[in-house]
C-alpha cells in the first residue's frame, strides 16, 4: 500500500507562482504574452497554464522553472526564495496596472 505524501512546508513552488505573477504584472504582460515569451525561449506553454501556475492549481516542472528564470532574467534562487515583501510589491504592481488600465479607458472615452 503506497504511503501518502507528507505535506510540503518549504513553499518554493508557491513562491515561484507568486513571483511569476509579480514579474508578469510588473512588465505589463498578459498571460498570452508571457506564454509567447516562454515559447520563444524554447518552452511552449499556454496562457491558461500560466494562469493555473499563478493560482496554484498547476505544478511547475523543473524545465518550466529554468525557462521562467531565463524569460525574466532572474536567478532560479531568486524565484524560489521570494522575499516577504513580494506580496506588497505584487499589490503595488496590480494597483499600478489597474490605474493604467483606467487611464487608457479614460483616454479612449475622450476620443
Tell me the domain boundaries of the chain.
Answer: 12-110
CA gap 59, 49 in Å, rounded: 10
At residue 63, the pLDDT reads 93
Higher pLDDT, 84 or 34: 34
Q: 12-110 adopts what CATH topology?
A: 434 Repressor (Amino-terminal Domain) (1.10.260)
pTM for this one?
A: 0.69
Residue 42: how many other CB atoms lie within 10 Å: 10
* Mean pLDDT, range 9-20, rounded to an integer: 82
Amino acid at each position: 500500500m503506497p504511503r501518502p505524501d507528507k505535506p510540503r512546508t518549504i513553499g518554493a513552488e508557491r513562491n515561484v507562482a507568486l513571483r511569476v505573477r509579480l514579474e508578469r504584472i510588473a512588465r505589463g504582460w498578459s498571460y498570452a504574452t508571457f506564454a509567447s515569451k516562454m515559447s520563444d525561449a524554447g518552452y511552449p506553454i499556454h496562457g491558461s497554464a500560466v494562469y493555473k501556475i499563478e493560482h496554484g492549481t498547476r505544478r511547475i516542472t523543473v524545465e518550466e522553472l529554468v525557462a521562467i528564470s531565463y524569460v525574466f532574467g532572474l536567478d532560479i534562487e531568486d524565484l524560489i526564495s521570494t522575499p516577504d515583501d513580494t506580496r506588497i510589491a505584487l499589490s503595488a504592481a496590480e494597483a499600478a496596472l489597474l490605474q493604467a488600465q483606467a487611464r487608457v479607458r479614460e483616454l479612449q472615452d475622450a476620443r
